[in-house]
Structure 1
Amino acid sequence: MPVLKVQRAESNQQNDAVKLKKLNIDVQITGNIATTVMTMTFYNNSNRILEGELTFPMPEGVSISRYALDINGKMREAVPVEKAKATEVFESIERRRVDPGLLEKVEGNNFRTRIYPMPANGSRTIIVGYEEELNFNNANALTYHLPLDYNQPIETFALKTTVFESILKPELGEQPDGSFNLKVNGNTYVGEINKTDYQPKKGLTINLPKRNNLPEVQMQKASNGYYFLVNVFPKSESRPRQWSNQIGLIWDTSLSGLQRDTKKELELLDLIIKQKQNLTIQLGLLNNGFKNSGTFIISKGNWDDLKKKLENIVYDGGTNFGSVNAQSFQADEYIFFSDGLSTFGRNSIALYKPVNTINTSLKADYSTLKYISLQTGGQFVNLNAISTNDAFKQLGQENLQFLGIKNGSDVRQTYPSMHVKVNGHFSLAGILNGLNTDFVLQFGYGNSITSEQHIQLNATEHALSSIDVSRVWAQKKISEMDIQYEANKADISVLSKQFGIVTRNTSLIVLENLDDYLRYDIAPPAELRQAYDAVLKQRRVDFQERKTELLNAAVTMTKDLKTWWNTDFSYKEPIKSKNDYPIPVRDAIDAAPVVTQNISATPPPRPAGTPPAPPRVERAKESEAKGQLNEVVVVAYAAQAKRMETASATTIVRSQSISANSALQGRVAGVSIQNKSTTTNVETQPTIVIPEFKSDKDYMKNLVGNPDSAYRAYIKMRPNYKTTPMFYFDVANWFYQQKDSVRALTILSSIADLDLENADLYKTLSYKLKQTGNYDSEIFITEKVLQWRPMDAQSYRDYALALADAGQYQKALNNLYKVLTQSYNSQIADRDQGIEEIIISEINNLIAKYGSKLNTKGIDKRLIQPLPVDVRVVLNWNKNDTDIDLWLTDPTGEKGYYGNPKTKIGGRISNDFTSGYGPEQFMLKKAMKGKYKIEVNYYGDRQINISGPTTVTAEIYTRYATGKQQRKVIVLPMAADNRSGNLVGEFNFN
């Protein structure tokens, strides 16, 4: 069932203002291939523009191959493009408030389309289509199933089903209501219903019985030969197998386990135990970690104790398959109940005895479960597709397998190409080189051939099929390659783009106009192709999106930083005399000190009605206006100071500079570095004090008493907040404060199970993992974000810093440098202008601390410039299109912020990021004595997804890159419209 999520742009709260107004479903079945096309019209009855996210869980082996969106009142077909590029282009165009459409595959066999904009009091229409290979049920009939469990009436509902070339009449196993029936017209059967204000009671299930066991052949002409699809029905004998006496039962207890059909799972386990009668089961519970949960001796089929334990499982936490290994969990055979989604760790299990994987979840990673079973010699059972009894029979017997092809020299690229089980039906797709050929399919058990079936292909005798056989072939090949995705992802990308199939690394995209297809170098659908080709020849260079690197800007920035670092900022503090007489006003300059307080005052609020995250040009104007004021103030301050030079005063003068080479040791990038000590006035480290974050949400009032009772309260409250990310964040934070880090991490990791491929949620997770020292998990989470969003400089940076946290300094350095050498489109390059300043500081910090252990030959030597500082604060956040500002108030009372980026004592604020993810940085080479106060100001964001409020993380360093640095990390959720500054931390230099 497709599920629609819609959020209000201004509040991030889920919205029920959008309804499915029209639904038209067309189903066509030919042989064992069913094509389903759904046309959905959604109506937004609110007076605000909204964005929708529609998720489709697809059956095993099924991929979406058609997507269309209404553009200017006409349906436009999508075209395939690399997934990362599709996301980048979609977000770029979305900011222009036009009509892109994107359909992508996310974790497991789940598909997601984002629809924007959904106009106020208006509608949007999308088309989604997919081909499905039908399988046999236990009554020797092919089965097609369409779920129709909609939660509200649909204003206009239409369903049409056509079964072509069927000798026997199809049977209805389930139908929406009594009015649906299949009528015959020759060998074609058609069923149709049209309803208004209709809510189907049941789904549609069609069984297509087979009269004989003769092979069925379908062919499609290609540019070179023919694509073919062969269906055969080999007879299989039942060969029972014996279950082991020592079984390891792995039960996935992560939060997503709440979506599994545990009743069916327990029924299957009951059948296995009752057949075996006497055995030993070792129970392992898996979520973000793995726990050996006891050994159960089963006698005479009595497993009441184990069953009771499984029925009372608390599902919580993310999922980390990598925490399971043979050393800690030994058995002769394993049964693994899971959806296959490893959201908090690697998706591989270090077990070497047969692992039988069982899935009952609609949102599942079938490829991972298949790979685990194939790799270990076990079986994969999709308990969604078959009954519990059929699953029990499958697991309890040795299955007939397809073993290969004999005499197949005239056919190529046949799939499946590996051994696969056969359950009364086998389907093979491939390419025929000529017009006709003969070959033999071989079947058997293990490696022993027990039967063969002769196949004849003849293009002149077989009528060409009405279905797209080539797409079925491509889908079969992709499905097989996807089992080992990393090894095959390049081939998958080529194939999926050619045949328009959505995969892990290929999406379908719809753009508004020809200029967009030209600008982003994306071949358009057929309706625009002629115009695209004509313009492309003449104006391609003018239209294509420019790509740029940050390296040249980084070289320039390094020079700027070096100049700043070598500048001696002397500060003379005016001494107020005992009699503080007013100074006569003689000119405009003398008058200016009256407004000096504006430097340290809170920046003025933005005008009423100013939208969140204003464009950079508007902020530039705002900063320019403030900058002009600051120039007057600084000049006035200088004039005032000059008049007081003769007065007796106690001054604080910065006269000491630190050698630019002091922090480097050994040889770096071929440059000889001499070891010099850094001289500082103060040897003691200042104490950094960060406030303890405490949520004020109502649910926090129930977390009282000891951690055990508080955890029970959390589980009791959770159904009311199960899709609210900040609920898990706040509760986890409470347990961290109670020093119960085990429970805290489990609750926190649940965020990973809330949504598929949600980078915002994963960024929030990574911040908290950094703060709490869970660096291995931080690496996994940031690497996932990098896979999903390689177009963002921040993805490389976050991953690099996670690697550095875990002590992988060379990989950290390499990925930091990648930030500067990747190509970015002009919009992202403008959005992230100035990030090179932060990267330069972090590259040189790594080199300063670990230079003797690092290979820096690949780093441009012009960037290597030691920049040790007394104070460094860096701030970044989890959401795109967000405007957050860093403020730092020094002991003089002066506030450094975007409007005052250079303070009198030498403080330096990096470029102001008014959209994107940041980061923003404050650095001070030489700290004067006194108190420093750090704040963050949140202007707003334009995000409209389920990720909850924007979350920021601040890293506070003293003695940065000196070899004596200390760091404190704080993670803070931002309250909407809180523009008065949130306290991040304080420290004192003595």
Structure 2
Amino acid sequence: MKKLKAIIVFPLLILATFVQAQMPVLKVQQAENEAQKQAVNLKKLNIDVQITGNIATTVMTMTFYNNSNRVLEGELTFPMPDGVTVSRYALDINGKMREAVPVEKAKATEVFESIERRRVDPGLLEKVEGNNFRTRIYPLPAKGSRTIIVGYEEELNFNHTNALQYHLPLDYNQPIEEFALKTTVFESVIKPELAEQPDGTFNFSAKGNTYVGEIKKTNYEPKHGLTISLPKRSDLPEVQMQKASTGYYFMVNVFPKVQNRPRQWANQIGLIWDCSLSGLQRDVKKEMELLDLIIKQKQNLTIQLGLLNNNFKSGGNFVITNGNWALLKKKLESVVYDGGTNFSAINSKNLQAEEYLFFSDGLSTFGKNTVNLNKPVHTINTALKADYSTLKYISLKTGGQFINLNAINTETAFKQLSQENLQFLGIKNGVDVKQVYPSLHVNVDGQLSLAGILNGLNTQFMLQFGYGNTVVLEVPIRLNATEHTLTSIDVRRVWAQKKIAEMDIQYEANKEDISALSKQFGIVTRNTSLIVLENLDDYLRYDITPPAELRSEYDVVMKQRRADILERKTDLMNAAVAMTKDLKTWWNTDFRALKTNKEKDKYPTVAGDPVADVVAAEPASQKMEVQEMRVPAPVAIPPNQANRRETESNALHEVVVTASSQVVQRKSMASASVALQGSVAGLQVADKKIITRVGEMIQGPTIIIPEFKSDKDYMKNLNGKPDSAYLAYLKMRPGYITTPMFYFDVANWFYQQKDSVRALTILSNIADLDLENADLYKTLAYKLKQTGNYTEEIFVTGKVLQWRPMEAQSYRDYALALADAGQYQKALDHLYKVLTQSYNSQIADRDQGIEEIIISEINNLINNHKDKLNVRGIDKRMIFPLPVDIRVVLNWNKNDTDIDLWLTDPTGEKGYYSNPRTQIGGRISNDFTSGYGPEQFMVKKAVKGKYKIEVNYFGDSQINISGPTTITAEIYTRYSTGKQERKVIVLPMEANNKNGNLIGEFSFN
């Protein structure tokens, strides 16, 4: 039995300015009892805060203790405020803290998962969708602890009293055994003020121009957070400098005094309201307050409401007179939040206005994050998990403003939206400075911070401010290395973060530069993570430069034996060419002739032979011929699968004995070999066109599948008409809001009721449940394929490819989605990439045999669409038409999962991993005992009769939010002939069903 890992989720470590939040809350996903839910707690917490100027550096050291008797895997997900990113991560290795190093995100994920399977100690911190971060730690030992360090820099903003403000949430609902908090404010001429403190005992003491506050407690539960106000003298710029290899990094903080100018609101405003499932996480009350201020100022206007989830539809046209917007308010208060989010569905044809207000978290989970609008769009966010870059880009591109209501109050937001804001326009006489950020026009609300690189020792230049392109104010800046290099902050990292933040607004165009910069400065971004490995060999094996403590030893060893240690990477081309030859041999074999020749063979008998005597004594109608025992080709079985294979082989191995047309098998196989006769109770005929009248069928394949009906308790409440069933679903949803199979099952019910619109909305909720969860997205993709939603299938499989480019299945799933949508050339190119990508040895071993499936699919595209394809890039040795009468292909959504495809033909013979070549010419592809599959059955010339498809799901080694393993089976008849038919089946699996899960049946006549 494979070792079980539970996933611990600490949902919210929210480090956002001006937001009431929580410290880590630990939860065991799918816990069986309350004790398991409380298995892990935060035992020690040490927080160190250092503030210089408008930059705060926060370092949190957290020790988690596992009270259970099970080894667990930890996952800590936390949002960060706009402009903040993690720049330090460390994990305890053998009792000593080891600093993480930056690595490309996909490689870091690949390495982490590879090492994790060896039961050693990797740690990974990555940025997921939006400005959200996730750290994965394995193992959390039974009755043991792990310690992590997370550090980040934050640029502080002004509050309504014109003071910089720092906020640290400490709202933790359980006592912490050991708690320590230290805060140091450097170079402050005015004493910091405490707007909020944990318990009344925290205070600052002065040491010259440095102020220090510190508390240490045991069994401590803070009552409040820590909020520090830092009054600033606004008459002089603040300058910080740091020596570099050439020149200096510098940061300047200025406080321009020019007033903003009033702006007139348009008479017709488009209101785009994100009503997807994630909208439940927004602060709607705050958003309504902002709307109220806008409407009361304008008084008379027309607001057109657009409701956005997986679709975009009109919510009505509201004519507002004398500031009375009661009808619109009532409409917004009654909005149902349901479905994924698809920004690309927004269209000006459906919502025409002079300017737009767009309330959303910026996370487009079910479609591209582009908005097709050409008038100013003001984006407003109140969600803690948000994609700030997307919201900024939308507003910047259209000439609107981005408002983060987590960082400012509604009055300040209204003021910004109702004014033509003073903007930073650029630098004058700055010949000695370069790479200054921000480089774009940005709004200035009393304060501006910028950073750059100085070529020499000192210089002077002007910062220009104004409206549009008109300069109305210039602020002189003087940089002098002898005066400004005494600093307690890492100015170069602040500069790098500012540059990355600006480039991230157009991520696709800048992702390579972002990756290079983030690796150089150790900053976590969309495509760069921080990783900790256990020992030197792992850093050498995966070609990752280690932290300083291992660097010298690493350099020595790498010079001596780099080629011997480095993890091998290989593509699948040689195996694909060899597999093509094997497929050609199989396809050209006439299995009917082989069978006929065997039947003709006669051998002399010996008098007294007991078998011959029995046969001679039987009536002619009952004579039996002992068939030759088949010895299947050897199948490589991983060591950890040996016991399972031996047990299952005893139950499945068959001796076939024929008596006339009757098939006699071992009793254990009887139920699997019985061919169904006539109509099948509870089964659905896939293609009713072939039925002429009851009991009579024309020649042709018929696919019959079981109608999937979930037996979960919540399904009992879905009855009657779809309208009432939808209300029942909404009523039940709070109890299952994070359960993927709840949405899958309910959506399936609505599909069966022919209400595909509601079904797709409910199904798309799966995309909003978790950030960058490939398992969930794969499940979603399978159902989208089955229901013919191919545009959405392309998006979803494309996201999985973006997250997991190290796996062959990511390219294959995306390619097949493209083929579903008729994009055959792109589909062919991505299928071929499966064979030309390089894979590490573990993944290559896991996926051995996938070439057989890819070759079949490449040749299917070429055979069916050759006039539309350019095949010059395809190795000609792999192009060979492979039309077959029957093809069944199976894959699943989870790694570390063992699933087997079984197919019983009309003779009663079962093809499976121990019998991969059947008498009628059936061919089962390589057995995948981990990974995602796929597994495939093909037969070139099918015999007439019924074929039965089953799946044996032995189990997986994961318990997490993505729920049970889900499989998809594609059944083809007349495959690659130009007349092929396909049926797609998607089913959640029941583990340890040794009799097999019935997937479907089809008749071939």
Answer yes or no: is the 8 Å Cα contact 1:6–1:53 preserved in 2: no
- Amino acid paired to 2:970: E
CA distance in 2, matches of 1:629, 1:541: 46
Say whether residues 1:526 and 2:541 are aligned partners.
no
Answer yes or no: is the 8 Å Cα contact 1:437–1:456 preserved in 2: yes
CA 9–251 in structure 1, closer or farther in 2 if over 3 Å, else same: closer
Aligned residues: 926
Report what 1:606 is aligned to. none
CA distance in 1, matches of 2:418, 2:29: 52
Say whether residues 1:746 and 2:761 are aligned partners.
yes
2:87 is aligned, of 61, 65, 69, to: 65
Say whether residues 1:942 and 2:957 are aligned partners.
yes
> Deviating runs (4+, > 4 A) in structure 1?
3-14, 572-575, 593-601, 620-634
CA 395–595 in structure 1, closer or farther in 2 if over 3 Å, else same: farther
Report what 2:427 is aligned to. 405
CA distance in 1, matches of 2:907, 2:631: 9
Answer yes or no: is the 8 Å Cα contact 1:55–1:113 preserved in 2: yes
Say whether residues 1:873 and 2:895 are aligned partners.
no
SS at match of 1:177: coil
CA 973–631 in structure 1, closer or farther in 2 if over 3 Å, else same: closer
CA 964–463 in structure 1, closer or farther in 2 if over 3 Å, else same: closer
TM superposition shift of 1:765: 0.2
Report what 1:111 is aligned to. 133
Report what 1:923 is aligned to. 938
Say whether residues 1:501 and 2:487 are aligned partners.
no
CA 398–411 in structure 1, closer or farther in 2 if over 3 Å, else same: same
TM superposition shift of 1:191: 1.3
CA distance in 2, matches of 1:431, 1:595: 87
Report what 2:849 is aligned to. 834
Report what 2:610 is aligned to. 584
- Amino acid paired to 1:24: N
TM superposition shift of 1:637: 8.8
Say whether residues 1:684 and 2:699 are aligned partners.
yes
Deviations 1:293-317 (A, max 9, x none): 1100000000000001101111000
Say whether residues 1:18 and 2:27 are aligned partners.
no
Report what 2:590 is aligned to. 568
Report what 1:737 is aligned to. 752
SS at match of 1:89: helix
Report what 1:163 is aligned to. 185
CA 843–61 in structure 1, closer or farther in 2 if over 3 Å, else same: same
CA 961–184 in structure 1, closer or farther in 2 if over 3 Å, else same: same
TM superposition shift of 1:52: 1.2
Deviations 1:734-788 (A, max 9, x none): 1111111101100100000000000000000000000000000000000000000
Say whether residues 1:395 and 2:417 are aligned partners.
yes
2:162 is aligned, of 140, 154, 161, to: 140
1:459-538 alignment runs, 5 A limit: 459-538=481-560
CA 209–150 in structure 1, closer or farther in 2 if over 3 Å, else same: same
SS at match of 1:460: helix
Report what 1:374 is aligned to. 396
Say whether residues 1:238 and 2:260 are aligned partners.
yes
1:772-811 alignment runs, 5 A limit: 772-811=787-826
Answer yes or no: is the 8 Å Cα contact 1:250–1:334 preserved in 2: yes
Answer yes or no: is the 8 Å Cα contact 2:186–2:488 preserved in 1: no
Answer yes or no: is the 8 Å Cα contact 1:22–1:156 preserved in 2: yes
Deviations 1:486-518 (A, max 9, x none): 000000000000000000000000000000000
Answer yes or no: is the 8 Å Cα contact 2:313–2:350 preserved in 1: no
Answer yes or no: is the 8 Å Cα contact 1:627–1:900 preserved in 2: no
TM superposition shift of 1:962: 0.9
1:278-293 alignment runs, 5 A limit: 278-293=300-315
Deviations 1:927-983 (A, max 9, x none): 111110000110111123211000000000111011111000010001233332111
1:600-615 alignment runs, 5 A limit: none
Report what 2:910 is aligned to. 895
1:28-47 alignment runs, 5 A limit: 28-47=50-69
TM superposition shift of 1:853: 1.0
TM superposition shift of 1:157: 1.4
TM superposition shift of 1:906: 0.7
- Amino acid paired to 1:175: Q
SS at match of 1:729: helix
SS at match of 2:484: coil
TM superposition shift of 1:212: 3.8
Report what 1:953 is aligned to. 968
CA distance in 2, matches of 1:405, 1:300: 45
Answer yes or no: is the 8 Å Cα contact 1:6–1:52 preserved in 2: no
- Amino acid paired to 1:584: P
CA 840–15 in structure 1, closer or farther in 2 if over 3 Å, else same: farther
SS at match of 2:591: coil
Say whether residues 1:360 and 2:368 are aligned partners.
no
CA 7–569 in structure 1, closer or farther in 2 if over 3 Å, else same: farther
Report what 1:720 is aligned to. 735
Say whether residues 1:250 and 2:272 are aligned partners.
yes
2:209 is aligned, of 187, 192, 204, to: 187
SS at match of 1:98: coil
Q: For the aligned residues, what is the CA RMSD?
A: 2.6
Answer yes or no: is the 8 Å Cα contact 1:595–1:633 preserved in 2: no
Answer yes or no: is the 8 Å Cα contact 1:68–1:127 preserved in 2: yes
Answer yes or no: is the 8 Å Cα contact 1:7–1:50 preserved in 2: no
Answer yes or no: is the 8 Å Cα contact 2:101–2:531 preserved in 1: yes
Answer yes or no: is the 8 Å Cα contact 1:782–1:802 preserved in 2: yes
CA 905–619 in structure 1, closer or farther in 2 if over 3 Å, else same: farther
Answer yes or no: is the 8 Å Cα contact 1:6–1:50 preserved in 2: no
Report what 1:309 is aligned to. 331
- Amino acid paired to 2:822: G
Deviations 1:107-127 (A, max 9, x none): 000000011111111111100
Report what 2:835 is aligned to. 820
1:635-654 alignment runs, 5 A limit: none
CA distance in 2, matches of 1:787, 1:762: 12
- Amino acid paired to 2:957: R
SS at match of 1:461: helix
- Amino acid paired to 1:712: L
CA distance in 2, matches of 1:44, 1:454: 57
Report what 2:694 is aligned to. none
Report what 1:932 is aligned to. 947
SS at match of 1:384: coil
Report what 1:674 is aligned to. none
CA distance in 2, matches of 1:334, 1:319: 18
Report what 2:926 is aligned to. 911
Report what 2:862 is aligned to. 847
TM superposition shift of 1:552: 0.7
TM superposition shift of 1:192: 1.4
CA distance in 1, matches of 2:960, 2:33: 7
- Amino acid paired to 1:392: F
- Amino acid paired to 2:796: I
CA distance in 2, matches of 1:46, 1:562: 55
CA 895–10 in structure 1, closer or farther in 2 if over 3 Å, else same: farther
CA distance in 1, matches of 2:33, 2:939: 37
CA distance in 2, matches of 1:248, 1:18: 48
Answer yes or no: is the 8 Å Cα contact 1:9–1:943 preserved in 2: no
SS at match of 2:375: coil
> Runs of 5+ in structure 2 lacking a partner?
1-11, 14-23, 601-607, 617-623, 663-696
TM superposition shift of 1:325: 1.1
Say whether residues 1:172 and 2:194 are aligned partners.
yes
Deviations 1:823-846 (A, max 9, x none): 000000000000000000000111
CA 444–712 in structure 1, closer or farther in 2 if over 3 Å, else same: same
CA 537–746 in structure 1, closer or farther in 2 if over 3 Å, else same: same
Answer yes or no: is the 8 Å Cα contact 1:7–1:946 preserved in 2: no
Deviations 1:851-892 (A, max 9, x none): 111100000000001111111000000001100000000111
CA distance in 2, matches of 1:596, 1:346: 59
TM superposition shift of 1:586: 8.4
CA distance in 1, matches of 2:903, 2:654: 21
SS at match of 1:243: coil
SS at match of 2:959: coil
CA distance in 2, matches of 1:160, 1:337: 38
